Amino acid sequence: MMIRTLLVANRGEIARRIIRTARGMGIRTVAVYSDADRNAPHVREADAAYRVGPAEAVQSYLDGSKIIETALKAGADAVHPGYGFLSENAGFAEACTTAGLRFVGPPAEVIRLMGSKIEAKGRALAAGVPVVPGYDGADQSDETLCAQAQQIGFPLLVKASAGGGGRGMRVVNDPGDVRAALAAARSEAQAGFGDSTLLLERYVEKARHIEVQVLGDAHGNIVHVFERDCSLQRNHQKVIEEAPAPGLSDELRQAILTSAVQLARFIGYENAGTVEYLLDDDSGDFFFLEMNARLQVEHPVTEAVTGLDLVECQLRVAAGEPLAMQQKDIACRGWAIEARIAAEDPAAGYCPETGTISAYAVPDFCRTDSGVEAGSVVSHYYDSMLAKVIAHADDRPTAIARLTAGLSEMRLDGVGTNLGFLSDLLRAPTFQEGSHHTGTIAALFPDGWCPPVASDPLRATAVLARYLSDRSQGADPWHALGAWRSVSVGGRQGTAVYYLDRQPVEVRETPDGCGVARAGEAPHRFTHVSVTPGRLVHEQDGQRHAIDYAVQGADVTMQTEAGRFSIRVETGEDAFLAEPHSTAGQANEIRAPMPGLIVELLHKPGTSLRKGDPVVVIEAMKLMQTLAAPCDGVLSETPHQPGETVEKKAILAVFLPEETSR
């Protein structure tokens, strides 16, 4: 029986993606939303929408009973969980079935089985699928785990059995670090998944992450939909994915695909799922990692090269239909690459960014799956991913070039993003050659990614952009404290002073344009200047330039052929009267580097600590960050407790010298 009304138990780009396909199939759609998402695009695009709770996910999108209650109230006969949230929650899938709702995913018992990495590895072994050497026993004592670590050897990977997305995972290179890694992984796993069970695996340093998309139905049919390469990762989280995987021999590719189908058939898999493998680049050996019993974030690249709509396949299987295709009917054509656009600062350890999107535009020659628009508020409550840009072409070099061009045309202002970082990855020789692996990002940027350095002409352009922006908004020259200095002097329109790195820079208008100069230096000349909201056109040294820009307070962001730049252009008030543009606290304080939720305080006030000791665990946008003591001393205050939400720069801990605290 076909699904008539579908409730989408998710938000953002995946909710919009599901709604798009469902409506095309003539299925009525129901959205759910939290208080933070009341005006989100997915709410507007569904046929009906219902509030399910406050902004905190645990009280809204993760409240399975509320979701089911809402589905029944809305007259839904099926629930699609998307990915994340409740998508791999066996209890939720079971509750949907009990309530008479079709769960768009595998049966609850399969989700439960594959949700445990330990159980999944056992089934893989029973199915004849190779697994990574390691330990997944019931004895979870430190003594046993440390002994097993010695047997497995180093480097070693500590993993949460119920984990995902890099949470509860630690790489250990030195035997002396095992106990600390166990403690940190346990804490993160318990906080993130409610299960502190760990397993140990041999860490393959030069590895590739290969995954196979599979589809199964209730009639015993299983097919693969080819493979994807997801090796470009940072902190064990995928950044760029592609299909097919580059550099695989026909024999190796077929062995991996056959293995995935073999496992899916062995466990009686239904609906869409992904079997993930680790490929040792040196030996050519591949090992089963885990199976994700849901749709994947990177599913669009598979859709691009096969022409299939995987969401439609999911809905038809959930409705009881057999798969509409056999293995021989599925072909892989061309190449597709996806980049995940996230609200984060790659130059600050990928710290999440929040704010309001002031301008948004996407390239028309790439597919873009997005959960935001101009005016969307990016909060700390949910995942940092804002959109995915996908390029498809006949071959890999053209797909890379098309995606690179697409990212350069992407307009997303008002919140910091990883657009510049992604562009650098696509241009990296190792990625262009297809020789990248899971350690490539760390190898490319051993000291962290740094944004491109703006040239002096571009910095001058940023000053001009802020000057024109201030003028267009009717800035009061007598209250701009240092910006406007004089007007209509000697036939000139006026002059203004801004600051770059706290050094004065003068903007001087003349009848033929503008000059921007530091004291004692020759000015950068701008002629034929025209400006519209977000776009500055001018000529400089005989060359015409058209630059997309955004001004947020003192920060000017510009998109150019050379990349994306953020330049701080200050007035006298910005530079000298306001507090420094930094989230750092005093030398004896820990301040929140981002808005977030306090997950755990690792020590009580009165504890003596050394500089670098872990103190506070904070979570924002599904990122867990452990903050360390900034100095030696005694923990004096912890103003916020676990479960509290704090703003950026909030004081989380204060330290006193040993002698002062006595």
- Our count of domains for the chain comes to 5
User: What is the layout of strands, in order, in the sheet containing 207-216?
Assistant: 286-292, 271-280, 207-216, 222-234, 237-243, 335-342, 385-393, 367-370
Q: Which domain holds residue 427?
A: 207-444
- 259 in any annotated domain: yes
How many whole angstroms separate alpha carbon 158 and alpha carbon 202? 9
CA 364, 365, 371, 377 dihedral sign is: negative
Same structural domain, 250 and 380: yes
Q: Of 530, 574, 577, 582, which Cα lies nearest the Cα of 552?
A: 574
Q: What's residue 489's pLDDT?
A: 32
Q: Which of 202, 223, 257 is the last residue of a domain?
A: 202
Order of strands across the sheet with 134-135? 134-135, 198-202, 156-160, 169-172
CATH of the domain at 626: 2.40.50.100
211 with 194, same domain: the answer is no
Lowest mean pLDDT among 31-45, 567-581, 613-627, 647-661: 567-581
SS (H, E, C) 213-247: EEEECCCCCEEEEEEEEEEEEECCEEEEEEECCCC
The tens digit of pLDDT for each residue in 591-625 reads 998 888 898 899 999 999 999 899 998 888 767 78
On whether residue 121 sits in a domain, the answer given is no
Could you tell me if 238 and 298 lie in one domain? Answer: yes
**Domain assignment present for 250:** yes
Q: What is the pLDDT, as a whole number, of residue 581?
A: 42
Query: Chain-centre distance of CA 149, in angstroms?
Result: 31
Nearest CA-CA partner of 179 in 135, 144, 141, 146: 146
Residue type, 328: K
Q: Do 54 and 165 share a domain, yes or no?
A: no
Quote the CA–CA distance of 575 and 482 in Å, as a whole number. 10
Residue 488 confidence (pLDDT): 36
Within this chain, do residues 161 and 39 fall inside the same structural domain, yes or no? no
8 Å CB contact between 158 and 196: no
Residues 463, 563 within the same domain = yes
Predicted pLDDT of residue 485: 39
Per-residue model confidence as pLDDT tens digits over 287-319? 999 999 999 999 999 999 999 999 999 999 999
Q: Of 444, 475, 500, which marks where a domain is finished?
A: 444
Q: Tell me: do 216 and 198 sit in the same domain.
A: no
d(CA 631, CA 609): 8
Q: Is residue 124 part of a domain?
A: no
In a domain, 434, yes or no: yes
Closest CA to 45 of 18, 5, 75: 18
CATH number of 165's domain: 3.30.1490.20
Give the per-residue pLDDT at 164. 64
Same domain, 304 and 406: yes
pLDDT in tens, 416-460: 999 999 999 999 999 999 999 999 999 999 999 998 899 999 999
Residue type, 620: A
Do residue 381 and residue 460 come from a single domain?
no
- My answer on whether 343 and 243 are in the same domain is yes
The whole-number average pLDDT for the span 281-288 is: 90
Q: Are residues 26 and 45 in the same domain?
A: yes
User: Quick check: is 119 in a domain?
Assistant: no
CATH number at residue 437: 3.30.470.20
The answer to whether the CB of 184 falls within 8 A of the CB of 229 is no
pLDDT at residue 633 in the model: 93
Mean pLDDT of 577-588: 54
Helices and strands in the chain, H and E counts: 18, 40
Last residue of a domain, which of 529, 549, 577? 577
